[in-house]
Amino acid sequence: MKNLWAPWRIEYILGRRDSRCIFCPDDQGLSDEDRLILRRDDLTMVMMNRYPYNNGHLLVAPLRHVSRLHQLTEDESREIMNWVTKSTVILQNIMRPDGFNVGLNLGREAGAGFEEHLHFHIVPRWRGDTNFLAVLEDIRSIPEHIKQTYFRLLPNFRKESSNEVV
């Protein structure tokens, strides 16, 4: 028997399923903490992926609901890349990964889970994080509870939000 504990997934399993966009302003009164939002401003947001590929998996998105890169304003494009960069620096300083996968999936066929609202993925990677569990059994092991990671990262995003552009 195989046991893999991921206690934060129970919220998804038991929760109400709807088609609301996870990146759009919340009309249900949820806090940024509940939504795992680390920072947001008038143009962009950074949030944790609730169902991560790896510990510290972040999403960077425009606040506007757009699905294609050409729909972004120059300011949105600049701020998204600015926060992709800042996010990798914060993750490097706090979690010490050996590398990152950074990218976006445009369209469902490209793997976009929320194809209507484009977003960049930042996935920290460590030597050996793709081990026999993932290869042989299609199981991932996430070593830290998602809320613990959120609270470790949050002060750094608050500090970085008050600083100049990288």
* Residue 123: domain span: 29-160
Please identify every residue annotated as catalytic: 119
In a domain, 103, yes or no: yes
Higher pLDDT, 34 or 9: 34
Instruction: Kindly state whether residue 18 falls inside one of the protein's structural domains.
Output: no
Query: What pLDDT sits at residue 27?
Result: 57
The continuous run of DSSP H or E covering 101 comes out as strand 99-104
Q: Which CATH number fits the domain that encloses residue 145? A: 3.30.428.10
Q: Residue 123 domain-assigned? A: yes
The total number of structural domains that make up the chain: 1
Q: For the whole model, what pTM was predicted?
A: 0.77
Specify if 62 maps to a domain: yes
Q: Please, are residues 131 and 54 in contact by the beta-carbon 8 Å criterion? A: no
Cα-based angle 24, 80, 30 (whole degrees, multiple of 5):
25
